[in-house]
Structure 1
Amino acid sequence: MEAEAVVEATDLEKTYGETVALSGASLSVAGGEVFALIGPNGAGKTTLVRALTGTTDPDSGSARVLGDAPTAIDRDRLGVLPQDFSPPDRLSARELLSYYAGLYDDPRDPDAVLADVGLADTGDTWYENLSGGQQRRVCVGSTLVNDPDVLFLDEPTTGIDPAGRRTVWRLIEDLAADGTTVVLTTHDMAEAERLADRVGLLADGSLVARGTPDALVREHGGSSRLTIETAADLDAFDDLEVPVSRPERSRVRGRNSESAVVVREIAPAEIGTIVDYLEDRGIEYTSLSWAEPDLENVYLALADRTELEHTDRAGDEPADEAAADPTRAGETA
């Protein structure tokens, strides 16, 4: 039996002038589920979150949260962290959380919330004197003072250092374990892979793929790969009975892509066979690294495909029409 949806969007459409922000976006999130929205800048993630939280009215389609329209929901049951959130600088972290707690009938203790976000020792520090990552954690805390049933987090860990990020991750995991439904947007594929029960990839205003991280990797992530750091030409691998190519430019991270080859569809137990192949043919190499596909591979495959399709469409437009809308990408997230 399918779990009852707590967050629903059906065929949401939203345009800003000639810019299409949402184009038939639909999703369904069950109670206690963590759903991560990923996608390129301008894909529509922030507009979708705004439509689901009642801060943007869609042009068409419908949205429901906890069975009600977003504008009708009891705000005590909802927590929302916008991507851009700037509370008053001249209040301490504790004073900020106390202020937001005062907006609700039965709030949590601000000191308990500070402890949850790993800031128990900085409660008396003015917001403006906190680091950027600490400020973001205070912002996360502000969404928790009402102990919400549904939590929307737009890029929650932006600017947070690795240790602080893991604190927020554990907090989100604990909230979901206690039954809180979480919808978050992120550009961090490790964050989505760790936290999300399901992931939806948004491109050009609609969800082009959704599923568990494992299912998306199986369907779109490609094969395992063995990267060999070598100056040898691809011709040296002509008689190897598995696919061999240069690494994707997105993965070479500043080094010359001609200094490595990637052997695909290789299981760990077969790496020794490749080593024997290299040695038998006198192919010099400096290192080997094996990796399974992950959510980043899924993102790159689907985002690249969408970008290519978008580029092809733009190439078919008259030059003056394409130039007439320099903000075609729409929003920043």
Structure 2
Amino acid sequence: MKVIEVSDLRKEYRGRNVVDGVSFTVEEGEIFGVLGPNGAGKTTTVECVAGLRVPDSGTVRVLGGLGPAEVRRNLGVQLQSSALPAKIKVWEALDLYASFYPAPADTGALLERVGLSARRDAYYGRLSGGQQQRLSIALALVGRPRVAILDELTTGLDPQARRDTWELIEQVRADGVTIVLVTHFMEEAERLCDRLALIDSGRVVALDSPEGLVSRIGSPQRVRFRPSHPFDDAILRALPEVTGVRHENGRVEVSGTGDLLPPVVSALTAAGVIPADLRIEQATLDDAFLALTGKKISA
């Protein structure tokens, strides 16, 4: 079932098309990523979906075409720009947001769920960055939404807090909540998203699973190693998977297709060559975005 349908969405600011004909659908139960560099139009797009901005043209249907009031009751939103007063306590923020809904979630259970029970009396300003983001997720979920929009949720977090937040997002999806995740972190998108809309300069340049996007660029797999002693390249070039062998500064780079590592290691072993510092490299989502847009996303 399609829970979000966006068709030819457009939004202009000061004569510039911030969102320029964006179209995509989000299926029930998936984590759908909106990926692109800062200023690409990602946040404006999801704000139009959430009813926080009025598009200049195009259509947005949420949960089959619910009216604005029903959309607000069924859609949880955490925006990048949202912040709470430093002196509000965790439990006060949750109670405030819960008061907006006719049948909110149990706030105590929700705090336990996001790992903030021990910080319920803490001021928002005293929370760590990771704790503030966990509270943001709790606030997005307090209305028992069917769909949650999470915008740049892990920006500014240290690597461990980021991974903890990813685990929480996966748990939320496991409970049946459809998630729209706005991000410019490639690793985050690859880890979490079932499908992605790559947005650049207000337009969707590609729409697919992370694996599907990477496969589009047809980049070869590469195996790099330092051989224990010189050997004849022919033992590797004879392998059907190998398309090239290159030497540089005492290292060997083998490029090819399919599952390259096993045949390369087997051939080297048969020749008595020990591959030290062995590394395997494959095309990434970052490579795919660069190939599709000519740009890199800076973290």
**TM-score band w.r.t. shorter chain:** 0.7 to 0.9
Which of 285, 298, 306 is the matching residue for 2:288? 298
Secondary structure of the 1:58 match is coil
Can you list the C-alpha shifts for 1:70-93, whole angstroms capped at 9, x where unaligned?
A: 735342211011111111110121
**Following the alignment from structure 2 to structure 1, what is the Cα–Cα distance between the partners of residues 292 and 9?**
21
Once the two structures are superposed, the pairs formed by residues 182-193 of structure 1 within 5 Å of their partners are 182-193=179-190
8 Å contact kept, 2:214–2:287? yes
**In the alignment, which of 192, 201, 206 is matched to residue 204 of structure 1?**
201
1:268 aligned onto 2:258: no
Point out where structure 1 has 5 or more consecutive residues left out of the alignment. Answer: 231-235, 247-256, 309-332
Q: Structure 1 residue 243: deviation in Å?
A: 4.0
Corresponding position: 1:20 with 2:17: yes
Q: Report the CA distance shift for 1:208/1:141 in structure 2 as closer, same or farther (over 3 A).
A: same
1:287 equivalent in alignment to 2:281: no
* Number of the residue aligned with 1:125: 122
Shift of the alpha carbon at 1:44? 1.2
Q: Deviation digits for residues 33-66 of structure 1, max 9, x if unmatched?
A: 2101111222111111111111121111111111
Per the alignment, residue 89 of structure 1 pairs with 86
| From 134, 137, 142, the counterpart of 1:140 | 137
Cα separation, 1, equivalents of 2:198 and 2:118: 38
> Quick one: distance in 1 between partners of 2:129 and 2:250?
38
Aligned-pair distance for 1:118?
A: 2.1
Q: CA deviation at 1:69?
A: 6.1
CA contact (8 A) 1:133 1:158 kept: no
What residue number does 1:322 align with? none
- State the one-letter code of the partner of 1:298: A
Larger RCO (alpha carbons 8 Å, 6+ apart)? 1
Over aligned residue pairs, what C-alpha RMSD do you find? 3.2
SS at match of 1:222: coil
Rate the CA distance shift 1:48–1:245 in 2: closer, same or farther, 3 A: farther
Matched, 1:50 2:50: no
Could you list the per-position Cα deviations for residues 85-121 of structure 1 after superposition, in whole angstroms to 9, with x for gaps in the alignment? 1111101212211211121111112222222222222
| Distance 1:6-1:124 versus aligned 2 partners, 3 A rule | same
1:216-256: CA deviations, max 9, x gaps? Answer: 222236221223579xxxxx99x96734689xxxxxxxxxx
Cα distance in structure 2, aligned partners of 1:100 and 1:204:
34
Tell me if structure 1 keeps the 8 A contact 2:97–2:142.
yes
Shift of 1:172: 2.3
Residue aligning to 1:103: 100
> Structure 1 residue 291: deviation in Å?
2.3
Tell me which residue corresponds to 1:214: 211
TM-score, normalization by structure 2: 0.83
Aligned-pair identity (%): 39
| Secondary structure in structure 2 of the residue aligned to 1:121 | helix
In the alignment, structure 2 segments of 5+ residues that lack a partner are 228-232
Please list, as runs of the form range in 1=range in 2, the aligned pairs for 1:307-326 lying within 5 A after superposition.
307=295
- Residue 184 of structure 1 aligns to a residue whose secondary structure is strand
Letter in 2 for 1:37: V
The answer to whether 1:5 aligns with 2:24 is no
Q: 1:269 to 1:45 in 2, by over 3 A?
A: same
- Alpha-carbon offset, residue 187 of structure 1: 1.8
SS across alignment from 2:117: coil
| Match among 144, 155, 159 for residue 152 of structure 2 | 155
Query: What letter corresponds to residue 223 of structure 2 in structure 1?
Result: L
Q: Cα 1:263–1:72, aligned 2, differ >3 Å: closer, same or farther?
A: farther
1:316 aligned partner: none
From the superposition, tell whether residues 286 and 116 of structure 1 become closer, same or farther in structure 2 (CA, over 3 Å): same
After superposition, the Cα gap between the structure-2 partners of 1:187 and 1:74, relative to the gap in structure 1 and judged at 3 Å, is closer
Q: What letter is aligned with 2:288? A: V
1:176 maps to 2:173: yes
Distance 2:249 2:183 in 1: 32
Q: Which residue of 2 aligns with 1:252?
A: none
Q: Distance in 2 between matches of 1:294 and 1:7?
A: 28
The worse-fitting range, judged by mean Cα deviation, of 101-110 and 216-225 is: 216-225
How far, CA to CA, are the matches of 1:259 and 1:45 in structure 2?
45
* Residues 40, 303 of structure 1: 8 Å contact kept: no
Residue in 1 that maps onto 2:230: none
Q: Could you tell me how far apart the structure 1 residues matched to 2:264 and 2:127 are?
A: 49
After TM superposition, the score normalised by the length of structure 1 is 0.75
Would you say the 8 A contact 1:12–1:58 is kept in 2? yes
